[in-house]
Structure 1
């Protein structure tokens, strides 16, 4: 059996004892594997290993790479007992929902900082729709929150699908030193 030439990392448990380690990723890259990361755990790993050759993809990767903040906290969720269903909402989904609604324009870094600070003060287990919106009312006002959709946009899922779609179109002969095309529209 031939070893795969590319590996995509998307999601996983954030517990450092259980998740894919930096050493394992480095070892795979040293053996010639191309590693791509997006969405959650993959985006976190790509942020840490981008200079060493791991390729980060997607809006979540770009956001957590560029923002001066606790990166893990931005993607963290409380998982259900089967570890397959998120019981809470990650901060990145809130941020991208606000951006899509025009409530955090790209040039309003101060507003973004206030939103991130307020959301980060919430324990992960309290990050459900009603409580998140209550905090947002204090930061951006009732009018802005009233304009939000009923559910927060799942930016991590978008990036996961984008990475899988991109990787499905790759053959090992297509992977060289160039990065794969960036399939996500800027928002």
Structure 2
């Protein structure tokens, strides 16, 4: 891989960019692409020599999801591929023994818990840029509730009941407003709930992982 290729990273990303400092996107070698779908890697390989590629967000309803075979073909052709935050973390967990590189907390959670389902990171978002999220991934709500349990604001039983309630819900209906309503039903202070929701970005580990990836720029490191 040439020095120029080493510095270049094609990033397939969408709603996980929400809240990211735009300065982190100023790396000269960073090439942004929309959420990945099946066939995108194959098309990229046609006109681009082997370089770096990072999968963050992906689609799976309107188009087939990115497949394992095309990721493997790219790695065999000399591409270095990272997966993080969302669909990328899932694929990395499934393919880390084959050479795909996992990054971040979401990847580690999937790698350490075989019971974690794809549903944890799923959300609905705008179909076009800037792909703003319209629902909240369960994995973010899980982080929030775990913190509140640790702080003894809610009990472990309440945490379990809330997660069960939300997990049994269609992912598009998992919103902070729905979470707020569920917490109000527990007779928790409205001010306390609103304050926590106003600072909910602290629990958005999908975006936090992406921010760390952009800061560290692991693709610039020589093997």
Q: How does the TM-score come out when normalised to structure 2?
A: 0.62
Gaps of 5+ in 2: 6-48
Q: Does 1:165 align with 2:212?
A: no
Q: Does 1:47 align with 2:93?
A: yes
For 1:9-53, what per-residue CA distance to the aligned partner results, in whole angstroms no more than 9, with x for missing partners?
111213394332111111111122221111111101111111212
- From the CA coordinates, give the structure whose radius of gyration is larger: 2
Aligned match of 2:54? 8
| Contact persistence 2:50–2:77 (CA under 8 A) | no
Gaps of 5+ in 1: 176-187
Q: How does the TM-score come out when normalised to structure 1?
A: 0.73
Alpha carbon RMSD of aligned pairs, Å? Answer: 3.1
Which of the numbers 103, 120, 137 marks the counterpart of 2:167? 120
Question: Which runs of structure 2 are paired with 1:130-149 in the superposition (5 Å)?
Answer: 130-135=177-182, 141-143=186-188, 146=192, 149=196
Aligned match of 1:150? 197
Distance 1:38 1:144, change over 3 A: farther
How far did 1:123 drift? 0.9
Aligned match of 1:129? 176
- Other structure's SS at 1:103 match: helix
Equivalenced residue count is: 168
Report the Cα distance in structure 1 between the residues aligned to 2:65 and 2:212, rounded to whole angstroms: 22
Distance 1:73 1:104, change over 3 A: farther
Distance 1:50 1:26, change over 3 A: same
Deviating beyond 6 angstroms after TM superposition, the runs of 4 or more aligned structure 1 residues are 108-112
How far did 1:86 drift? 1.0
